[in-house]
Structure 1
Amino acid sequence: MGSVVKKKKSFVDVFLNGVERVGNVLPHPALLFGIFAVIVLIFSALFAWTGASAVHPTTDEAINVVNLLSVEGLRRILTEMVKNFTNFAPMGIVVVAMLGIGLAEKSDLIGALIRKLVLAAPKGLLTFVIILAGVISNVASSVGYVLLVPLGGVIFLVAKRHPLVGMAAAFAGVSGGFSANLIIGTIDPLLAGLTEEAAHIVDKTYTVNPVSNYYFMVVSTFMVALVGTWVTEKIVAPRFGEYKGEVSEEETRLDELTSNEKKGLRWVGIISMLFIAIGVWGLVPADGFLRGADGQLLTSPLLKGVVAVLFIWAGTCGVVYGKITGTFKTDKDIMGAMGESAKSLGPYLVLVFFAAQFVAYFNWSNLGLVLAVNGANAINSLNLSVIPLMLMFALFCGMINLVMGSASAKWALLAPIFVPMFMMLGYSPELTQVVYRIGDSATNIISPMMSFFALIIVYFQKYDEKAGIGTIVSTMLPYSMVFLVSWMILLAIWLLTGLPLGPTGGLHYSM
């Protein structure tokens, strides 16, 4: 009898398994965020005692670390604990969206759509389509985190693949591709406004258009989808192998749709087309009722209220589908479905409570501001040429993203430092902005400071109850590293060829 030869693990497997083991030795994520919060309190006292500070780039005022282990700090901790929890940005989004999605799920509408998708789509394209959909979902703010990430797991489960691999692919598209898109989203005007304000430090007449990075972002969308597919199939999927967990037959059935299910889907299609028609009616005319108060599309309540739209659309489709197929017979069934959906958020709410305190303490202490400003000043002193300078800046932004979660908050801090500095070196504000977006996007998926990180842990725990921070970081680290390297190569090619970044975004600035 021949001996069985064990396949030798690659260096990547050994490294990522080590990251996962170290990460999962850590306490429960909720407790870990609580520990982080206590550490921030201690560090705020230590750094305040040593006089750690930085100079604000626009006001020239000193930014001092605030000691939270003080009488004033204690008062704020006690009086704002509830406020930190209830005002935590993603919580309301998740709860409202899940109530609508819960109706679509409990009516089996999502299950029917997934079965139709899996039966119709070639298996070889599933990963690419999921990642591409994740990138595009960013036009609707945070919907991708709430809807697409868990959907990716279910789609892979139905396709007889490991659900965590599907979730990882979706998360890579939604979060790793946050700044890329085929459509101008809510983040574009937000960043452009901050960039323009920073440019005014040097040139009061300079304007930055929200479409100034559009060409680069379109190319980036397909790069993220292609590279993410490669990482999923070559690195992530082999690590997880075959899914061994218990799965109900209902979750993985691939039988053809019944006549009632087909009828229900037809009505869902009609309702969706009606929603689209109302959207077009309200947006296309110059005086459309769904345009913003200033008459612009980018300030439309449809974009700002996308979670409310998702709730109404998903809830309506779920109720209609459930009534046609017999899943919902009375109003009690409908309310019960929403209640069941809300129950599933219990673990997330526990995590959010501790995560919200940690993020609030970190902001109150000014530790993130001091770290960011001093780090930026260090890069400024290196005197590098354009390509290494921009690559270093992208890497720096990626590192800052690990301690400051909000894309707009980081750019509000960094733009007044780097935009004027690069303008004086002959580089456009649009170029500085796009480099920032590269660094910010690439490390989103491994940053515990990212608002939806706790939710992703809960999603993973549905299929692996032992999953923790280590599981998420080790799974997503290959995406983060490959995205960053690929984006840097794309940026270098762009700089060498001199292509414009968008319709109004060149590479250079002349004083």
Structure 2
Amino acid sequence: MQSTHNDDRPGWLNRVERWGNALPDPVFIFLGFILLVIALSVLAASVGWSAVNPVSGKLLQVESLLTEANLRRLLVGMPTTLTGFPPLGLVLVVMLGAAVAERSGLFTALLSGSIGKVPRWALTPSIFIIGLLSHHASDAAYVVFIPLAALVYAEAGRHPMAGIATAFAAISGGFAGNVVPGQVDVLLLGITEAAARLIDPAFTMNPLGNWWFSIGICVVFAPVAWFITDRIVEPRLGPWRPDTETAALVVPREGLTAAQRRGLAHAGLAALAVIGLFAAFIFWPGFTPLLDRAAEGPQRTTPFYRALIGGFMLLFLASGWAYGRAVGTVKSHRDIVSMMGHGMKTMAPYLVIVFFAAHFVALFNWSNLGPVIAIKGAEALRTLDIPQPLLLVSLLLMSSSFDLFIGSASAKWSAMAPVVVPMLMLLGISPEMTTAAYRMGDSVTNILTPLMSNFPLVLVICQRWSKGAGVGSVLALMLPYGLAFLAAGCLLVMGWVALELPVGPGAAVTYALPQVSP
């Protein structure tokens, strides 16, 4: 199996890769962080480190993880800590369907039929833009789109690791950018609304409050990612020379056969049936299980977004089964079960890593270190007497720093927003612009931390194409994107504020306190 980098070109990225790969296995990295967070919790609890929740007024104190209660919770709750890890269920559910679509040959036929229509030079911007649009699929994009991007690049004769890097950069590093608002906007701006009402009780959430800024991220990040992939990442990787194992994964260059075309037609009908079922669950009069009729506005569609995971599983299962029956790769229901089993077998390395990742996240949450760190950091902004653009960049950088250790965007924002949003409102910055700066910072460093919940999955995908890939390989692969996105994000925030561009429909950069009647 070839190396993930060109050994003839020593450079700082290759040094990053060598140093990173010299680290212990990711399992032991997470084990080390578990021991570290336990030690920090004991130390912080002993000195009484705490912070006040600005909304509830509740005192948040760091808890020692070596108390009887926490040790009991750790040892007794190990099964539920693992099964309750959010990405785990999502990955396994989607993989049940994706395994059928892959093993039946559906993915191969789709790529074979479509890859010839995309010029080789246009692969990077196409993959990146599709990755940005995949955010509404939540973490399912990691399970489905990143492996497909690797296949697309390999079929085009380009390095599959470059495809993985481009897709990962779009899905995770560009998480704040999208063309169409979705559930993340509703979630984060809902948190913003509660924080803003500490200053303005009449403030109401604008679910489109970050729309124009999100589109701006797409416009700025797409050419940056294109340059990084084609001029930095792929040249460093060198020519791709597949071995026997990886060559078997590549889509053949021949055009579609008559059987494959027939299979795709059957798969298309099956996909339409699943889509029609979900549409009926939204629009059928008097029967809308995927709409929350008690909610108002965009929040009514929350059940639909949450059902997308099951929807993708059913979509891949139904279309893969239909394709397989048409071309002969599926002869009975036993073949479907076998394909699902094979898909689960490939996830074994991921399951081992996830056990330790889930316990690190759980212990970090139990300790209260996350919200206390976030609140303390947000309060530090209060002491900075700097212009608005630089103040927002400070928030962006602080958010980026926290993102290296605290993966959940909503968890960080729940702790930071009650301090940051009211503070910046008093300084003349709108809640929507504050949220946009936070989201930018929360996105750009996602691809640079092994503590990100889907990082183990990306590592497993890389190892499928390069057995020697380790944590350092992924970090060296993604570091150029992270640094470029961070610089571009800071410039975008400063330019947006300096030009006073609207952040979204009806959402300005600035904020004026309501006039109080005498």
User: TM-score, normalization: structure 2?
Assistant: 0.93
Structure 1 466/307 Cα, relative in aligned 2: closer, same or farther at 3 Å? same
Change (3 A) 1:195 1:352: same
Post-superposition offset of 1:206: 0.3
State the match for 1:306 in structure 2: 308
| Secondary structure of the corresponding residue to residue 250 of structure 2 | helix
Greater displacement, 216-225 / 339-348: 216-225
* Superposition CA RMSD, Å: 2.0
Alignment correspondent of 1:432: 434
Q: 2:33 matched to 1:27?
A: no
C-alpha separation between the residues in 2 aligned to 1:397 and 1:472?
22
Percent sequence identity over aligned pairs:
38
Any conservation in 2 of the 1:302–1:309 contact (CA below 8 Å)? no
Give yes or no for the alignment of 1:317 onto 2:316.
Answer: no
- The residue that corresponds to 1:273 in the other structure is 272
CA contact (8 A) 2:228 2:481 kept: yes
Counterpart of 2:122 in structure 1 is: 125
Query: CA offsets per residue over residues 285-310 of structure 1, 9 Å max, x none?
Result: 88672433336554333311001000
Partner deviation per Cα, 1:128-153 (whole Å, 9 max, x = no partner): 11111111000122221111111111
Per-residue Cα deviation, 1:394-445 (whole angstroms, up to 9, x for no partner): 1111111111110110110110010000011111100100000100011111
Q: Secondary structure at the match of 1:299?
A: helix
Q: Does 1:291 align with 2:288?
A: no
CA contact (8 A) 2:50 2:61 kept: yes
Verify the 8 A CA contact 1:181 1:221 in the aligned structure 2: yes
Matches within 5 A, 1:190-269: 190-246=187-243, 247-249=246-248, 251-269=250-268
Instruction: Name the structure 2 match of 1:154.
Output: 151
1:451-491: CA deviations, max 9, x gaps?
Answer: 11111111111122222221111211111111121122222
Contact 1:149–1:171 (Cα < 8 Å) also in 2: yes
Q: Report the counterpart of residue 73 of structure 2 in structure 1.
A: 76
1:244 CA displacement: 3.2
Amino acid aligned to 1:161: R
Matched-pair contact (CA < 8 Å) for 1:291–1:297: no
Deviates more, 1:273-282 or 1:263-272: 273-282
> Per-residue displacement from partner, 1:302-326 (whole Å, max 9, x unpaired)?
3110010001111000000000000
Asked if structure 2 preserves the Cα contact closer than 8 Å seen for 1:158 and 1:253, the reply is yes
Find the aligned partners of 1:53 and 1:297 in 2 and give their Cα distance.
36
Q: Of the candidates 133, 137, 145, which is equivalent to residue 136 of structure 1?
A: 133
Residue type at the aligned position of 2:325:
K
2:257 maps to a residue whose letter is T
The Cα of 1:100 is off from its aligned counterpart by 0.3
The aligned counterpart of 1:189 is 186
Q: CA deviation at 1:30?
A: 1.2
What's the counterpart of residue 343 of structure 2?
341
Q: Aligned partners of 1:382 and 1:421: how far apart in 2?
A: 11
Q: In 1, Cα distance between the equivalents of 2:286 and 2:493?
A: 39
Q: How far apart, in 2, do the equivalents of 1:210 and 1:457 lie?
A: 34
> Where do 5+ consecutive residues of structure 1 fail to align?
1-5
Q: Which residue of 2 aligns with 1:3?
A: none
Q: Which has the higher mean CA deviation after the structures are superposed, 475-484 or 73-82?
A: 73-82
Output the TM-score relative to the length of structure 1.
Answer: 0.94
CA contact (8 A) 1:319 1:328 kept: yes
The CA distance in 2 between the partners of 1:280 and 1:291, in whole Å, is 11
Deviations 1:48-101 (A, max 9, x none): 223333333333443222111233332121122221111000000000000000
Secondary structure of 2:168 counterpart: helix
Cα distance in 1 for residues equivalent to 2:34 and 2:53: 25
Residue 356 of structure 1 corresponds to which residue in structure 2? Answer: 358
Q: Is the 8 A contact 1:90 1:452 kept in 2?
A: yes
- One-letter amino acid of the structure 2 residue matched with residue 67 of structure 1: S
296-305 vs 144-153, which moves further: 296-305
Distance 2:304 2:70 in 1: 40
Q: C-alpha separation between the residues in 1 aligned to 2:443 and 2:203?
A: 26
Report the count of equivalent residues: 503
Is the aligned partner of 1:106 residue 2:113?
A: no
Partners in 1 of 2:54 and 2:106 — Cα distance? 52
Q: Specify whether residues 41 and 168 from structure 1 end up closer, same or farther in structure 2 by C-alpha distance, changes over 3 A only.
A: same
Q: 2:512 matched to 1:510?
A: yes
CA distance in 2, matches of 1:263, 1:321: 8
- The one-letter amino acid paired with 1:431 is M
Mark the CA change 1:339 to 1:306 in structure 2 (over 3 Å): closer, same or farther.
same
Amino acid at match of 1:291: L
CA distance in 2, matches of 1:99, 1:311: 7
* SS in structure 2 of the partner of residue 179 of structure 1: coil
Q: Which amino acid in 1 is paired with 2:267?
A: V
Name whichever of 320-329 and 36-45 sits farther off.
Answer: 36-45
1:169–1:228 contact (8 Å) kept in structure 2: yes
* SS at structure 1 position matched to 2:300: coil
Corresponding letter in the other structure for 1:505? A
Matches within 5 A, 1:50-61: 50-61=47-58
The superposition leaves residues 373-413 of structure 1 with CA deviations (integer Å, 9 ceiling, x where unpaired) of: 22222222111111111111111111111111101101101
- In structure 2, the CA distance between the partners of 1:248 and 1:305, relative to structure 1 (3 Å rule), is same
Q: Which amino acid aligns with 2:489?
A: W
- In structure 2, stretches of 5+ residues that fail to align are 1-5, 514-518
Which residue in 1 is equivalent to 2:516? none
1:465 aligns with 2:462: no
1:492, distance to aligned residue in structure 2 (A): 2.0
Moved more, 128-137 or 75-84: 75-84
The question of whether the paired residues in 2 share the 8 Å contact of 1:267 and 1:321 is answered with yes
* Contact 2:274–2:314, Cα closer than 8 Å, also in 1: no
Q: Secondary structure at the match of 2:395?
A: helix
Map of 2:415 onto structure 1? 413
Deviation, structure 1 residue 243: 2.2
* In structure 2, distance between residues paired with 1:170 and 1:87: 27
Q: What do residues 342-376 of structure 1 show as CA deviations (whole Å, max 9, x unaligned)?
A: 11110000000000111111111122222222222
Is the 2:500–2:510 contact (alpha carbons within 8 Å) kept by the matching residues of 1?
no
CA distance in 2, matches of 1:316, 1:222: 36
Query: Do the aligned partners of 1:132 and 1:222 also contact (CA within 8 Å) in 2?
Result: no
